[in-house]
Amino acid sequence: MSLFKKKKKLFQPKEATSLIRRMISENIKEYKVAYAIAILASLVSAGTSAGLVYLMKPMIDKIFVEQNTSLIGLISGAIFFMFLLRGVSSYVQAVELAKIGNNLVARYQKRIFDQLMRLGMDFYADKRSGQLAAQINQNVTGIRDLLNMTISSIARDAISLIGLIAMMFYMEPILSLVVFLIGPPIVLAVAYISRRIRTVTRDLVNLNSHLLGAMQETLQGITIVKAFTMENLMSQKISALIEQSEARSNKIARVSERTTPISEIVAGFAIAGVIAYGGHAAIANQQPPGAMFAFITALLMAYEPARRLARLQVGLERSLVNARMIYEILDIPPQQADKDGAVTLNPKNGDITFDNVCFSYQPEQPVLANISFQATAGKITAIVGASGAGKSTLIGLVQRFYDLTSGTITIDGQNISDVTKDSLRHSIAYVSQQPYLFEGSVGDNIRYGRPDATQDEIIQASKLAHAHEFIVKLPQGYDTPIGENGASLSGGQRQRLSIARAIIRNAPILLLDEATSALDNESEKKVQEALEYVMRDRTTLVIAHRLSTVIDADNIIVMEAGRIVEEGRHEDLIMIQNGIYSRFYELQSGRQGDQHDIALLEDLQGNEP
């Protein structure tokens, strides 16, 4: 079951507190100075709010009632200074929190990507890359929002509210107690809304990631979309997802914004009541209006931070959902971590030995059973068989993309389970049937085989792969940017670049998955000659769909349903009467066969899943 499709229970208070505490503990040391500046600026801003309220009483009583002109300049100057201080402190706080937030997003993006690089192939078995990338992009901002909301709400809104409430009690203690009766209805409303927002938010994140992933995959496969006239079908599919996302977003807006009318109605009733009471007291009892005006000012100024704090829980719920989905990935233990005390693989010759190897992706669904053979150093070992026989799985096990169910694979006597994956894979050069190129230039893609390779070595590898001739004709030669997965290059050109990448790696073990299948006859001949040069003195495992490419192999392994059924050289295998290899060879040589043989041939020439 997909990690992101699991049904999750709603947040419990302890869980939310634990997650916030974890994020703070992981990040507070990095940002303690910046947070200290932001909190100090928030305290200054909160202090100016209380100071403005305090100045209201002498302003009204002394200037407007007693008409004391000597205090006009002093009080006006104090009010201007409060606003100046408030503007500067608000600016400092906003900039510091923005810098912290941007750096948090960058740090967690790096952490997530590093974690994805550590996870084994089993993690990606049921993940769609586009959807995974979109989901991570959506959720990573939840960490930033959660921390910034927590800090800013405590340092700015909570402290401002406390200061303003203190001024309210100082001016009108009895009236302040009456006003506080409006709190319980708002608290109850927010609690109800927060419960509703949790599941809706997670559903929206999943839906949006599915939408963005589907868009990305459609654009990547645009050639197939147009070739099969799928434009209308894909447009309808994407439109349906967009409409679902819009509906879910509207639902979140309706639910989350319900606090606004509740707060406005209750607050309006309270403020109107206070004004009516204050006006009556000033007229009937001849009380100076300064205290009442200060109280009303404090009440009006307290409304905004109180409203933000009331909505804080709703915002926290949404950010908590995002943050938890990020930590679900960060907390996945790598299934293929190096063993304690793992040593570096130092292949002297490159002999690969399979000893009674069994493997299954799922329990009770074996893919390989009792595989035993040796790929001798400096020799070519070919693996043939129908689609689904387990050829690509076998190649994947050599690279330790998966851990064995039982048995051992050794290289020069060293168990690959006891060596570091990094040293193992540095000893292997791999060329897949479907070449994959990355963002960057032509030269960059070749250099991925060995990052410290010089330009001369890249050119030499390209010449051996018969790629140099077409590379120099590109607009910028080796510096020409490659489109998405080399879309501007032909299939044969992409394959030759991947072969050059394998050549420059200069590894003792070479794995080829029908590396010349995408080439035309002329290019295939040239690259085959280059591969023959590269395979000298290297242990080479070749997955073959066309038997003509492995006739000269030193040993041929014939697989069927995850088992080795035949093994030997070409001239020996074709002599086996009714043997699988001899039947394949006869069919590919153009001889007639029955329908079962034809089906086997089609499987053999198909792509290995």
What is the enclosing helix (H) or strand (E) of 556? strand 555-560
Spatial separation of the C-alpha atoms in residues 301 and 164, rounded to whole Å? 8
**Residue 140 pLDDT greater than 70, yes or no:** yes
Spatial contact of 166 and 46, defined as CB atoms under 8 Å apart: no
- Could you tell me the strand order of the sheet in which 414-415 lies? 365-375, 352-362, 406-411, 414-415
Outline which parts of the chain fall under CATH 1.20.1560.10.
13-330
**Residue 123 pLDDT greater than 90, yes or no:** no
pLDDT band at 1 (very low <50, low <70, confident <90, very high): very low
Spatial separation of the C-alpha atoms in residues 459 and 448, rounded to whole Å? 14
Task: Check residue 187 and give its pLDDT.
Answer: 60
Task: Check residue 567 and give its pLDDT.
Answer: 92
**Residue 3 pLDDT greater than 50, yes or no:** no
Q: Which has the minimum average pLDDT: 249-258, 281-290, 354-363, 508-517?
A: 281-290
Task: Check residue 182 and give its pLDDT.
Answer: 62
The set of residues, in sequence order, having a beta carbon less than 8 Å from that of 472 and lying 6+ positions away, is: none
**Residue 556 pLDDT greater than 90, yes or no:** yes
pLDDT, tens digit (0-9, with 9 covering 90-100), for 219-251: 767 766 777 677 888 888 888 888 888 887 787
Q: What is the mean pLDDT of residues 428-441?
A: 84
Spatial separation of the C-alpha atoms in residues 247 and 253, rounded to whole Å? 10
Spatial separation of the C-alpha atoms in residues 462 and 469, rounded to whole Å? 9
Q: What is the mean pLDDT of residues 121-140?
A: 73
Query: What's the whole-model pTM score?
Result: 0.71
Outline which parts of the chain fall under CATH 3.40.50.300.
343-427+509-609, 434-506
Task: Check residue 601 and give its pLDDT.
Answer: 45
pLDDT band at 494 (very low <50, low <70, confident <90, very high): confident
CA dihedral of 211, 215, 217, 220, whole degrees rounded to 10 = -170
pLDDT, tens digit (0-9, with 9 covering 90-100), for 443-483: 999 999 998 999 999 999 998 888 898 999 999 999 998 87
High-pLDDT (> 90) share of the chain, %: 15
Give domain 13-330's CATH superfamily.
ABC transporter type 1, transmembrane domain (1.20.1560.10)
pLDDT band at 519 (very low <50, low <70, confident <90, very high): low
Spatial separation of the C-alpha atoms in residues 87 and 91, rounded to whole Å? 6
Whether domain 343-427+509-609 has CATH 3.40.640.10: the reply is no
Spatial contact of 259 and 308, defined as CB atoms under 8 Å apart: no
The set of residues, in sequence order, having a beta carbon less than 8 Å from that of 161 and lying 6+ positions away, is: 302, 305, 306, 309
Give domain 434-506's CATH superfamily.
P-loop containing nucleotide triphosphate hydrolases (3.40.50.300)
pLDDT, tens digit (0-9, with 9 covering 90-100), for 33-56: 888 888 888 888 888 888 888 888
pLDDT, tens digit (0-9, with 9 covering 90-100), for 167-217: 888 877 877 777 776 666 666 666 666 666 666 766 777 777 777 777 777
Spatial separation of the C-alpha atoms in residues 111 and 472, rounded to whole Å? 39
Task: Check residue 186 and give its pLDDT.
Answer: 62
Q: Which has the minimum average pLDDT: 52-66, 79-93, 293-307, 585-599?
A: 585-599
Spatial contact of 402 and 360, defined as CB atoms under 8 Å apart: no
**Average confidence score pLDDT of the chain:** 79
